């Protein structure tokens, strides 16, 4: 690789890092909005909220990385054109394809990353995310009781806390246990802590009393305690249906009719083809941007039109990929379009850049 190629590649890597860093807060915000209800209604801890956000991010990377790559290509090549670096390289006999080589190489690397993310990382993260949400809803919900509100735990237990001292720590506790049909047990405690022990929610109460009423005889038994550990046995978590996002590629391309239903078979296949085709999008936006910026010569005037055209076309490709996915879900025969929308711009852009030919150096 020539020194000029390394020079351009270094600038592209720096610009890619800067673009990814600029897009990251927007992606984080868009992802965090999905879990606002978990904070407001369940009062989950900030650590758990951060875990939910990080698990949801890989799904957005298939869009974020191509956008960051597009921005980096536009920034670097427009800057090189405005500094007359492209003109100097062309005067030295460098062809359009050679000028585009560092960006094309970086595009290949990002294509591999996006493909791996779409096929491996994103589905695995989505499974972890859905499992964590299910646990928060069905098991850990006892850890996030809102003060002043009676909380039904399962069907036979009711928990009330007067105030929350900290994460899962409460004061002024009332717990009514009706799991045994022959007796009712009521716990009163000054304070307590809710924890998870071996997957079982447990309430550790301090400085309280245990009142047991025999439903048949009406006899009351009262016991005072300094510390009492109460297991909050909840019903088994029902088996949840898995979404398309968390299924593997094989499950999407060969869905079970009994499991997903005949009406959803086409949607699962469209999702599978979309994952495979998403790896082509970084190469497509790179080829389109380079063709718009390099073909037809570059001068220092009128450079605003080319970047705008490149950005509009590349962004249109990304939006079009999702539109085609929706169309394929209704008309499976159009599945080939999901690959064509990424492959055709790559082939056309590469051919146009290759036809630029090698320019002869200007005579000294």
Q: Where are the domains of the chain?
A: 3-138+241-354, 143-231
Terminus-to-terminus CA distance in the chain, angstroms?
26
Confidence (pLDDT) at 364:
37
d(CA 318, CA 127): 25
The mean pLDDT value for 39-44 works out to: 54
d(CA 315, CA 356): 25
Confidence (pLDDT) at 363:
44
* Cα of 115 vs its chain's centroid, Å: 15
Structure tokens at 19: 């673009």
More confident residue, 145 or 282: 282
Confidence (pLDDT) at 10:
92
Confidence (pLDDT) at 131:
78
The least confident of 51-60, 77-86, 158-167, 298-307 is 298-307
Q: Rounded mean pLDDT of the chain? A: 81
The mean pLDDT value for 224-232 works out to: 87
Confidence (pLDDT) at 361:
45
The least confident of 230-239, 275-284, 288-297 is 230-239
Task: Note whether 220 and 212 are within 8 A (CB).
Answer: yes
Confidence (pLDDT) at 318:
86
Contacts of 303 (CB under 8 A, 6+ apart): 78, 81, 82
The mean pLDDT value for 248-265 works out to: 84
Is the pLDDT at 68 greater than 80? The verdict is: yes
The least confident of 167-171, 216-220, 261-265, 273-277 is 167-171
Is the pLDDT at 34 greater than 50? The verdict is: yes
Dihedral sign, Cα of residue 278, residue 282, residue 288, residue 291? negative
Is the pLDDT at 162 greater than 50? The verdict is: yes
Question: What values do phi and psi take at 142, rounded to 5?
Answer: -65, -20
Confidence (pLDDT) at 69:
93
The least confident of 203-212, 226-235, 334-343 is 226-235
Is the pLDDT at 143 greater than 70? The verdict is: no
SS (H, E, C) 75-134: HHHHHHHHCCHHHHHHHCCCCHHHHHHHHHHHHHHHHHHHHHHHHHHHHHHHHHHHHHHH
Confidence of residue 18 (pLDDT cuts 50, 70, 90): very high
d(CA 155, CA 201): 15
Dihedral sign, Cα of residue 261, residue 263, residue 269, residue 272? negative
Rg (CA), the chain: 30
Confidence (pLDDT) at 286:
93
Is the pLDDT at 13 greater than 90? The verdict is: yes
Confidence (pLDDT) at 249:
87
Confidence (pLDDT) at 330:
87
CB atoms within 10 A of CB 173: 24
């Amino acid at each position: 690789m020539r020194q000029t190629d390394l020079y351009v590649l270094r600038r592209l890597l720096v610009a890619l890092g800067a673009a990814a860093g600029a897009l990251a807060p927007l992606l984080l915000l868009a992802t965090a909005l999905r879990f606002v209800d978990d904070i407001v209604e369940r009062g989950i801890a900030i650590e758990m909220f951060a875990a939910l956000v990080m698990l949801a991010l890989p799904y957005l990377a298939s869009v974020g990385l191509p956008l960051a790559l597009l921005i980096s290509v536009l920034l670097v090549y427009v800057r090189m054109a405005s500094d007359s670096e492209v003109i100097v390289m062309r005067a030295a006999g460098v062809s359009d394809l050679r000028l585009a080589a560092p960006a094309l190489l970086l595009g290949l690397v990002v294509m591999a990353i996006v493909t791996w993310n779409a096929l491996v990382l994103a589905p695995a993260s989505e499974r972890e995310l859905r499992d964590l949400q299910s646990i928060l809803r069905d098991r850990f919900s006892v850890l996030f009781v809102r003060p002043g509100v009676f909380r039904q735990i399962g069907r036979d237990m009711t928990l009330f806390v007067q105030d929350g001292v900290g994460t899962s720590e409460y004061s002024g506790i009332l717990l009514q246990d009706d799991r045994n049909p022959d007796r009712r047990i009521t716990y009163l405690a000054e304070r307590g802590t809710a924890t998870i022990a071996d997957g079982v929610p447990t309430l550790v109460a301090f400085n309280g009393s245990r009142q047991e009423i025999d439903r048949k005889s009406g006899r009351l038994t009262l016991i005072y305690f300094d510390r009492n550990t109460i297991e909050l046995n909840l019903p088994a978590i029902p088996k949840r249906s898995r979404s398309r996002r968390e299924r593997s590629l094989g499950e999407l391309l060969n869905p079970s009719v009994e499991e997903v239903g005949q009406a959803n078979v086409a949607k699962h296949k469209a999702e599978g083809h979309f994952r495979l085709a998403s790896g082509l999008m970084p190469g497509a936006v790179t080829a389109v941007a380079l063709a718009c910026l390099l073909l037809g010569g570059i001068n220092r005037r009128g450079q605003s039109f080319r970047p705008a055209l490149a950005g509009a076309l590349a962004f249109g490709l990304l939006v079009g990929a999702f539109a085609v996915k929706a169309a394929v879900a209704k008309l499976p025969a159009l599945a080939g379009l999901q690959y064509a929308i990424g492959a055709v711009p790559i082939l056309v852009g590469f051919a146009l850049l290759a036809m630029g030919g090698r320019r002869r150096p200007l005579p000294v």
